[in-house]
Amino acid sequence: MSTTHSTAKIVDDEDLPLFEASGGDWSQIAEEAARLGEERIVVNMGPQHPSTHGVLRLMLEIDGETVTEARAGIGYLHTGIEKNMEFRTWTQGVTFCTRMDYVAPLFQEAAYCLAVEKLLGITDDIPERASVIRVLMMELNRITSHLVCLATGGNELGATTIMTVGFTAREEILRIFELISGLRMNHAYIRPGGVAQDLPPGAVQATRDALVNVKHYLAQLEELMLANPILHLRTKGVGYLGLSGCMGLGITGPVLRSAGLPYDVRKTDPYCGYETYDFDVPTATDADSWARIVLRMEEIHQSVRIVEQALDRLDKNAGPVMVEDKKIAWPAQLAIGTDGMGNSLDHIREIMGTSMESLIHHFKLVTEGFRVPAGQVFQTVEHPRGELGVHLVSDGGTRPYRAHFRDPSFNNLQATSIMCEGGQVADVVVAVASLDPVLGGVDR
């Protein structure tokens, strides 16, 4: 933390005020303080503060321990992902957008691929098994994302045990992700037309076994958090943001539902067959940090319900996981062999030994990519932090003309000042943790 003081004095010979300020970019704040003729203390929280969920910078003006003004500074994690996607094929774009919100990568993949499929006009051609696998992976990812929120939130309040239990539970699902996609995060597993490969043998049972352990750890988290009087005192009535504030700022997800509105894209505008799953949308009315903790725990239980239904469907459905159109579908059936991830041996034998046409098609599809008809589309999904939107524009080529994402954390961060001003400095940590921002998605 650092403090800045501003001073102002009158230069007699010119009869003009001379402002002196320290702190570089605090000059404007110091200038205003001098104009008002009063001293202000500004605390710089971040951009490397542990409570900021990445590289978020908070500029807090304080009066004693009370926050009188709060400003959020973003952009420290800007990677140019959206611009880079304009120089890669439609399939390669998945590898970029999965790295935006690194805590919930599968939702970016799903939203992007659903948008590409809309442009291609193949939404109804996606195999049922591929859609079920997408739902399975997204709901498992929702559980891991909420666990990170609860675990880091507890740690920021000084409860290290909450963090260790939460991350231990998350590990159970990350092992499933690694089994299915080969990676713990940034999977690039959901592809335009379906998914990269089918579930490996034993994946369904391994997921069922992992869920048993996740439920066990979740019960521990509930005992550690919901029955903790200190947590009650630190979170109840803190970070209040009512329904009118959420609506005015375009805030969605658990923050909006904690204010009483049951808005969930899975219900209002279903995708991937969500309308066929049985689950509830939990809400609260307290609109504070405590309500968001309880809400996320209940959302984990609902995601477990969806995952169990998806696993039952996968046991009964052994269909393909990629569209049949070979002009779009990746020509290889990927398999996990002794050398790790790669093309199936049967496909390699065909393109290298028996069919020159197949080899040429494989080469052009992988290097050049498929063409997408000119047009634009907007697709939304229910991300763990709210409504995630993707706007894609195609000029008829093999690469996106424009790709832009509406990340929920970006909108949610607008509430920082409303939630923090008038509260204590220590409550800023609680309020920001209850928003659960991930700066990789904010800055992109």
Q: Give the per-residue pLDDT at 198.
A: 84
CB 249 within 8 A of CB 415: yes
Per the CB < 8 A criterion, the answer to whether 96 and 111 are in contact is: no
pLDDT of residue 376: 93
pLDDT at residue 365, rounded to an integer:
76
Residue 65 is predicted with a pLDDT of 82
Q: Given this model, what pLDDT does residue 8 score?
A: 40
CB atoms within 10 A of CB 129: 21
Amino acid symbol at 136 = L
C-beta of residue 57 within 8 angstroms of C-beta of residue 73: yes
Q: Which of 6, 34, 196, 189 is nearest to 108 (CA)?
A: 189
| pLDDT tens profile 216-245 | 999 999 888 888 888 888 888 888 888 988
**Residue 347: predicted pLDDT:** 64
Q: Report d(CA 41, CA 104) in Å as an integer.
A: 37
Distance in angstroms (rounded) separating the CA atoms of residues 181 and 199: 8
Name residue 404's beta-bridge partners.
Answer: 391
Question: Closest Cα to residue 248, out of 136, 373, 379, 412?
Answer: 412
Our CA angle for 443, 101, 296, nearest 5°, is 120
Token reading at 213: 């352990």
pLDDT score, position 331: 53
pLDDT at 369: 79
- How is residue 73 written in tokens? 């500074």
Give the model's pLDDT for residue 57: 84
221 CB neighbour count, 10 Å cutoff: 21
Sole residue written with tokens 């774009």:
93
Q: Which of 322, 334, 238 is nearest to 287 (CA)?
A: 238
Cα separation, 197 vs 184, in Å, equals 16
Structure tokens at 168: 């231990």
According to DSSP, residue 39 is labeled -
Instruction: With beta carbons less than 8 A apart as the criterion, state whether 344 and 333 touch.
Output: yes
3-state secondary structure of 197: coil
Strand ranges, E, within 103-232:
190-191, 194-195
Domains of the chain: 6-73 (no CATH), 81-328+370-443 (1.10.645.10)
Measured distance CA(67)–CA(60) in Å, rounded:
6
Task: Find, among 68, 100, 38, the residue nearest to 417 by Cα.
Answer: 68
Class of residue 183 by CB neighbours under 10 A (exposed 0-12, middle 13-18, buried 19+): middle
| Cα–Cα distance for residue pair 306/278, rounded to 1 Å | 7
Q: Which residues of 93-107 are buried (b: 16+ CB within 10 A; e: fewer)?
A: bbebbbbbbbbbbbb
Structure tokens of 361?
Answer: 């098609």
Ranges of residues in the chain with a pLDDT under 70 are 1-27, 29-39, 48-54, 331-353, 355
Partnered with residue 195 across adjacent β-strands are 190
Q: Please tell me what DSSP assigns to residue 424.
A: B
Q: How far is CA 266 from the centre of its chain?
A: 16
